[in-house]
Amino acid sequence: MDRDPLRAVVLVQPGPHADRRLAACWDHCHRRGHHIVAVVTTWEEAAKLVLAGHADIIVVHSPAELPPDRVPRVEVAGQAPSSAGRARRL
């Protein structure tokens, strides 16, 4: 059974290699079958689109692009408290 593609907001903060990070996000969405509804530069813009029901997911190139104090956010119970919610470079 086929499902509708997820509607994605791509979040790419301005800075070095933003064009490469954007291209990687586009490639990811294409491979996963996501429909890109917007490209934004701030978490607030991305979250507003999801919360308003215009998008289902936010796609970023790296967790380092996520603000550590973002709301809404996801916390993983299995992570040590010192690293939960903190943006890390992978």
End-to-end Cα spacing for the chain: 35
pLDDT band at 80, cuts 50/70/90? Answer: low
**What's the CA gap between 11 and 41, in Å, rounded?**
6
Q: What confidence score (pLDDT) does residue 82 get?
A: 52
Q: Model-level pTM? A: 0.78
pLDDT band at 89, cuts 50/70/90? Answer: very low
Q: What confidence score (pLDDT) does residue 90 get?
A: 39
Domain boundaries, the chain: 10-65
Q: What confidence score (pLDDT) does residue 60 get?
A: 95
Higher pLDDT, 81 or 25: 25
Residue-wise pLDDT tens digits, 19-74? 999 999 999 999 999 999 999 999 999 999 999 999 999 999 998 888 888 887 77
